[in-house]
Amino acid sequence: MTTVDIPRTVAGTDPRTGLTLRPAVAETRPATVAQIIEAAEAVAPELAALGRGGRAALLRGLADAIEARRSDLVTIADSETALGAPRLGSEITRTAFQLRFFADVLDEGSYLEATIDTAADTPTGPRPDLRRLLVPIGPVAVFGASNFPFAFSVPGGDTASALAAGSPVVVKAHGSHPGTSQLVYEILAAGLRSAGAPAETIGIVFGRAAGETLVSHPAIRAVGFTGSLSGGRALLEAIGRRDEPIPFYGELSSLNPLVVSAAAAAERAEQIGGAVIRSVTGSAGQLCTKPGLLLVPAGADGDQLVAAAASALGNAPVVPLLNDRIHRSYVHDTAVLAAAPGVLEVARASREAESGFHVGALLVTADAPDVPSVVFDEYFGPAAVIIRYRTTDELMRVLKSAPASLTATLHTGSGETPAELVTALGRVAGRIVFDGYPTGVSVSWAQHHGGPWPATNSFHTSVGATAIRRFLRPLTWQNAPQGLLPVELRDGSVDIPRRIDGAIHLPRTGTPRVL
Amino acid sequence: MTTVDIPRTVAGTDPRTGLTLRPAVAETRPATVAQIIEAAEAVAPELAALGRGGRAALLRGLADAIEARRSDLVTIADSETALGAPRLGSEITRTAFQLRFFADVLDEGSYLEATIDTAADTPTGPRPDLRRLLVPIGPVAVFGASNFPFAFSVPGGDTASALAAGSPVVVKAHGSHPGTSQLVYEILAAGLRSAGAPAETIGIVFGRAAGETLVSHPAIRAVGFTGSLSGGRALLEAIGRRDEPIPFYGELSSLNPLVVSAAAAAERAEQIGGAVIRSVTGSAGQLCTKPGLLLVPAGADGDQLVAAAASALGNAPVVPLLNDRIHRSYVHDTAVLAAAPGVLEVARASREAESGFHVGALLVTADAPDVPSVVFDEYFGPAAVIIRYRTTDELMRVLKSAPASLTATLHTGSGETPAELVTALGRVAGRIVFDGYPTGVSVSWAQHHGGPWPATNSFHTSVGATAIRRFLRPLTWQNAPQGLLPVELRDGSVDIPRRIDGAIHLPRTGTPRVL
List Cα–Cα distances, A154 to A31, A62, A66, A184, in angstroms.
21, 12, 11, 7
Cα–Cα nearest to A386, from A503, A306, A316:
A306
Cα–Cα distance for residue pair B173/B74, rounded to 1 Å: 17
Q: Is residue A236 a contact partner of residue A225, using CB atoms and an 8 Å limit?
A: no
Cα–Cα distance for residue pair A141/A143, rounded to 1 Å: 7
Asked whether the predicted pLDDT for residue A488 surpasses 80, the reply is yes
Give the per-residue pLDDT at A314: 87
pLDDT mean over A67-83: 98
Cα–Cα distance for residue pair A279/A382, rounded to 1 Å: 9
Percentage of residues in chain A having pLDDT higher than 90: 90
Angle between helices B262-281 and B300-315 (to 10 degrees): 10
Asked whether the predicted pLDDT for residue A492 surpasses 60, the reply is yes
B494 at A interface, C-beta within 8 A: yes
Q: Is residue B306 a contact partner of residue B386, using CB atoms and an 8 Å limit?
A: yes
Residue-wise pLDDT for A364-402, tens only, equals 999 999 999 999 999 999 999 999 999 999 999 999 999
Q: Is residue A325 a contact partner of residue A442, using CB atoms and an 8 Å limit?
A: no
pTM value is: 0.95
Q: Is residue A115 a contact partner of residue A145, using CB atoms and an 8 Å limit?
A: no
| Burial class of residue A46, CB neighbours in 10 A (0-12, 13-18, 19+) | middle
Percentage of residues in chain A having pLDDT higher than 70: 97
Q: Which of B41, B251, B378, B488 is catalytic?
A: B251
With CB atoms and an 8 Å threshold, state whether B132 touches A445.
yes
With CB atoms and an 8 Å threshold, state whether A508 touches B514.
yes
With CB atoms and an 8 Å threshold, state whether B502 touches A457.
no
A90 at B interface, C-beta within 8 A: yes
CB contacts of B476 in chain A (<8 Å) are 430-432, 446-448
pLDDT mean over A498-506: 97
Residue-wise pLDDT for A396-446, tens only, equals 999 999 999 999 999 999 989 999 999 999 999 999 999 999 999 999 999
The Cα of B9 is separated from the nearest Cα of chain A by a number of Å equal to 34
Q: Is residue B62 a contact partner of residue B188, using CB atoms and an 8 Å limit?
A: yes
Cα–Cα distance for residue pair A259/A463, rounded to 1 Å: 24
Residue A278: CB atoms within 10 A of its CB come to 13
Residue B413: CB atoms within 10 A of its CB come to 16
Identify the bridge partners of residue A224 per DSSP, sorted by sequence position.
A142, A249
The Cα of B124 is separated from the nearest Cα of chain A by a number of Å equal to 6
Q: Is residue B388 a contact partner of residue B296, using CB atoms and an 8 Å limit?
A: yes
Residue-wise pLDDT for A9-38, tens only, equals 999 999 999 999 998 999 999 999 999 999
With CB atoms and an 8 Å threshold, state whether A472 touches B459.
yes
The Cα of A351 is separated from the nearest Cα of chain B by a number of Å equal to 31
The Cα of B269 is separated from the nearest Cα of chain A by a number of Å equal to 20
Residue-wise pLDDT for A308-345, tens only, equals 999 999 888 777 999 999 999 999 999 999 999 999 99
Active site residue B288: yes
Give the per-residue pLDDT at B318: 72
Give the per-residue pLDDT at B458: 75
A238 at B interface, C-beta within 8 A: no
Cα–Cα distance for residue pair A245/A222, rounded to 1 Å: 9
Give the per-residue pLDDT at B83: 96
pLDDT mean over A156-179: 98
CB contacts of B477 in chain A (<8 Å) are 431-432, 434
B480 at A interface, C-beta within 8 A: yes
B233 at A interface, C-beta within 8 A: no
With CB atoms and an 8 Å threshold, state whether B432 touches A493.
no
The Cα of B348 is separated from the nearest Cα of chain A by a number of Å equal to 31
Secondary element (H or E) of residue B408: strand B405-411
Nearest CA in chain B to A501: B445
Cα–Cα nearest to A249, from A230, A271, A227:
A227
With CB atoms and an 8 Å threshold, state whether A442 touches B124.
yes
Asked whether the predicted pLDDT for residue A300 surpasses 60, the reply is yes
A104 at B interface, C-beta within 8 A: yes
pLDDT mean over A54-71: 98
Average of per-residue pLDDT values in chain A: 94
Nearest CA in chain B to A455: B244
With CB atoms and an 8 Å threshold, state whether A457 touches B508.
no
Of B97, B445, B480, the CB nearest to A434: B480
Contacts of A354 (CB under 8 A, 6+ apart): A320
Q: Which of B41, B288, B378, B488 is catalytic?
A: B288
- Rounded to 5 degrees, what angle do the CA atoms A204, A205, A207 make? 150
Cα–Cα nearest to B296, from B332, B261, B267:
B261
The interface residues of chain B toward chain A in range 460-479, judged by CB-CB distance below 8 A, are 461, 464, 466, 472-479
> What pLDDT band is residue A511 in, cutting at 50, 70 and 90?
very low
Cα–Cα distance for residue pair A218/A34, rounded to 1 Å: 10
A236 at B interface, C-beta within 8 A: yes
Collect the ranges in chain B with pLDDT lower than 50: 1, 510-515
List Cα–Cα distances, B158 to B141, B197, B226, in angstroms.
9, 19, 10
With CB atoms and an 8 Å threshold, state whether B450 touches A474.
yes
With CB atoms and an 8 Å threshold, state whether B484 touches A417.
yes
**Cross-sheet strand order for the sheet of B202-205:** B202-205, B169-172, B140-143, B222-226, B248-251
Cα–Cα distance for residue pair A323/A332, rounded to 1 Å: 14
Give the per-residue pLDDT at A513: 41
Q: How many pairs of residues across A and B have Cβ atoms under 8 Å apart?
A: 253
